[in-house]
Amino acid sequence: MDRIESYTDYRKYLRDYYEDRKRRSSSFSHRQFCQKAGLGSPSFLREVIDGKRNLTEATIPQFVKGLGLVEHDAAFFGALVRFNQAVDSDSKRTFLETMRGLRRKVPVALVPLDRYDYYSCWYLPVLRELAIQRDWGDDWTALARSVRPRIRKGEAREGIALLEKLGFLVRDGKRWKQADPAISSGGEVDSLAVRAGNREYARLGFEAIEAIAPSQRDISTLVMGLPASAFPVLKQELREFKDRLVRIAQDHEKEGERVYAMNLQFFPLSQNPSEEAP
């Protein structure tokens, strides 16, 4: 059956789920599902699928348990149910946006080790995005001037040539297109090139505080006290947030007008007394 994110009707999802399980195991039944979910009525699933009953805030978690859903899929199912059962347009719109944000991230191509030079030069990712926005032809001066802060004409020409050589850009008639919609170094890679690139973007973000009007940027700081156990939770939340941003960018890929960078900086400003200062 299709991934849950492809559904806009939770009853249709439940029907497909049941039929898929039944095909794989003839002994599977509505009663068996309800027992796993902790539902008192053995016909609860059938009645929901047939539209005779709705799910409630109490029974949604029970269905999540019966379906064996975790993390994103569990959250998406809850939002899908609330979207279908909402009675006013504002609520429907809210739950629809929640569903949209929970869709799994764009397939990301991992950059092989021999291509990490891509990350060491801050304007190469910028050129990769600018190249597909319109037909630049051989107007390297215009392309260079579109980068902020501005780079030289030769850097623009050589940058595009390198991106083509590395396989990040391919010719499509007179235009360029990206070989992959999104790329990643593969998580937390201890690479000098990746760290050098991070330093450059942090520097550009610092300069943007004065160089770019507040109406065209958003730079803020949040300082908070946390137990050590909360750090991995927030770190995972940041990863999922970035995944949603990538999906939104992919949805508007053909409408690109500018290239943006986002620096997410989350680091300790204190240490335990027992720790040695670095």
* Per-residue pLDDT tens digits for 229-264: 888 888 888 877 887 787 777 777 666 678 888 888
Q: What gap in Å lies between CA 132 and CA 175, rounded to an integer?
A: 7
What 3-state class would DSSP assign to 177? strand
Q: What is the mean pLDDT of the chain?
A: 82
Q: What gap in Å lies between CA 80 and CA 157, rounded to an integer?
A: 48
Q: What gap in Å lies between CA 66 and CA 60, rounded to an integer?
A: 10
Instruction: Report the percentage of the chain scoring pLDDT > 70.
Output: 84
The helix or strand, by DSSP H or E, that contains position 64, with its residue range, turns out to be helix 59-67
- Confidence at residue 181, expressed as pLDDT on a 0 to 100 scale: 56
> Residues 62, 31: contact at Cβ < 8 Å?
no
Instruction: Report the percentage of the chain scoring pLDDT > 90.
Output: 30
Instruction: Give exposure, 78-89, as e/b (b: 16+ Cβ within 10 Å).
Output: bbbbbbbeeeee
Q: What is the pTM of this model?
A: 0.51
* Per-residue pLDDT tens digits for 164-218: 888 888 888 878 888 765 665 554 444 556 677 778 888 888 888 888 888 888 8
Length of the chain in residues, anyone?
A: 278
Provide the strand spans (E) within the chain.
Answer: 109-110, 169-172, 175-178, 183-184
Higher pLDDT among residues 120 and 45, named by residue: 45
Residue range 155-169: mean pLDDT, rounded: 88
CB burial class (10 A; 0-12, 13-18, 19+) of residue 262? exposed
Q: What gap in Å lies between CA 157 and CA 2, rounded to an integer?
A: 44
Question: Which amino acid, one-letter code, is at 37?
Answer: A
> Residues 135, 175: contact at Cβ < 8 Å?
yes
